[in-house]
Structure 1
Amino acid sequence: MVVRPLITVVRAGRLSYTAGLQLQQKLAKQKTADFAEFRNFLLLLEHDPVYTIGIRTKGYTEEDEKRLRELGAEFHRTDRGGLITFHGPGQLVAYPILNLRQFKLSMRCYVATLEQTVIETCRLLGVLNASTTADTGIWVGDKKICAIGVHGSRYVTTHGIGLNCSTDLSWFEHIVPCGIEGKGVTSLSEQLQRQVSLSEATAALLASLAKKFNCQLLEQHQERVTN
């Protein structure tokens, strides 16, 4: 009998970007030499307003950073892929912390599976035309509905996705999201013309992830996995 990999789901609530990053790092730094003993996590949360830049910092200076902070958001430089994006209230942020050897996935295949997970999530919620394009992320027409930026080290993944549920999209007007000129940003609520809650989106995401990654999910309180 084939045993499906297990992912522990941690619902962390609303956290600052710094706190979310620290939690990711804590869960990723496991002292085990055997990849089969690595404990996989899916960290689900909502961030306070924050602009983040990936390893490609094209076009953003200290003056830009100061300007964005003056809007009332934090600003962080990170080691994920991709350019600048926004995270904030109303956006479902999911950080899979996985040892890819348990899933028999390369980094490229991991990203593709993550993309298909988000597309399936959108479909379950009623957005039927979400898709990938030559640009990163998941799109509905020429509007991005979900940002994807990941990092991998020794087969262990960090960072992940930001799916706009009921996000205030005006935050994106101050940047060129992910460095892509001439395209916009959308949300599940905008596409469906109704309020889509994080809990509704989370239920769809978990169903999609279990299917696309062919894994088992175990819910656990944050305190039990970080103490």
Structure 2
Amino acid sequence: MSLSLPLVTVVRAGRHSYAAGLQLQQHLAKSAQILDPPSEFRNYLVLQEHDPVYTVGLRTKDYTAADEDRLRQLGAEFHRTDRGGLITFHGPGQLVAYPILHLRQFKASMRWYVSTLEQMVIEACRQLGVPSATTTKDTGIWVGEHKICAIGVHGSRYVTTHGIGLNCCTDLRWFEHIVPCGIEGKGVTSLSKELDRLVPVEEASGALLSSFTKVFKCRLQDQADAKLVTAAEISSKIK
């Protein structure tokens, strides 16, 4: 593989709280504010699972304190974020991937980035045996009338944060308490449901990494080969 391709360090963060995941990505992304030129920025792909949490994006304004309390009483956390998109759920059995990329190393376009993210997920689903996964007029990746992957991103100075939540073996009952991504009349699904077998996050991670290198045209470096702060170290700093 050509050394001229962008290098992306894979951070396997494991399972932790949504707050820990946010702080981890902020820690990794902040170097973009001090590095010039962009070619010096180290790109990351954070793979993780979250404890049960409902999150809302920038355009969500109609969730009241009572709504938050109702969802928290289910045993989940509730967070407002700076990503795009409406309300969704993250939890065990879902592969959450945060690409933290400087787009000037790839293509300086958020529209291109979102489209490429979609292609990456579709290719990963195809590799896993779900060839019907596709895009529609609604955000995310769909299998028929059911969303299999949510997408919500943020960009600042061409540096991306947030990303995708791919349902692998997620307990889909968590989604029954919300209108996922604000889309009425449609449902959610998972790789396990579509394939009628258990698809663990680890298996989906392998397909996603393969797809990521292919679609984003980059090289991957495992975290073990780089000196990085760990998710555990970040989590320990959160009170």
State, as a whole percentage, how many aligned pairs show the same letter.
Answer: 72
> TM-score, length-normalised on structure 2?
0.93
Q: Is residue 141 of structure 1 aligned with residue 138 of structure 2?
A: no
Residues 28-87 of structure 1, C-alpha deviations (whole Å, 9 max, x = no match): 000212100000000000000000000011431111101000000000000000000000
Instruction: Tell me, in whole angstroms, the C-alpha distance in 2 between the residues paired with 1:223 and 1:36.
Output: 18
Determine if contact 2:108/2:158 at 8 Å carries over to the other structure: no
Alignment of 1:93-108 (within 5 A): 93-108=96-111
| Residue equivalent to 2:13 | 12
**Number of aligned pairs?**
227
| Residue equivalent to 2:229 | 226
Instruction: Tell me, in whole angstroms, the C-alpha distance in 1 between the residues paired with 2:29 and 2:159.
Output: 7
Q: Which amino acid aligns with 1:172?
A: F
Alignment of 1:37-48 (within 5 A): 37-48=40-51
Q: Is residue 113 of structure 1 aligned with residue 116 of structure 2?
A: yes
Q: Is residue 152 of structure 1 aligned with residue 163 of structure 2?
A: no
Q: 1:170 to 1:223 in 2, by over 3 A?
A: farther
Alignment of 1:1-227 (within 5 A): 3-30=4-31, 31-221=34-224, 224-226=227-229
Determine if contact 2:89/2:175 at 8 Å carries over to the other structure: yes
Determine if contact 1:118/1:138 at 8 Å carries over to the other structure: yes
User: Runs of 5+ in structure 1 lacking a partner?
Assistant: none
User: Runs of 5+ in structure 2 lacking a partner?
Assistant: 231-239
> TM-score, length-normalised on structure 1?
0.97
Determine if contact 1:58/1:83 at 8 Å carries over to the other structure: no
Determine if contact 1:51/1:75 at 8 Å carries over to the other structure: yes
Displacement after TM superposition at 1:221 (Å): 3.8
Instruction: Tell me, in whole angstroms, the C-alpha distance in 2 between the residues paired with 1:222 and 1:53.
Output: 35
Q: RMSD of aligned C-alpha atoms?
A: 1.4
Determine if contact 1:11/1:221 at 8 Å carries over to the other structure: no
What stretches of structure 1 move > 2 A for 4+ residues in a row?
221-224
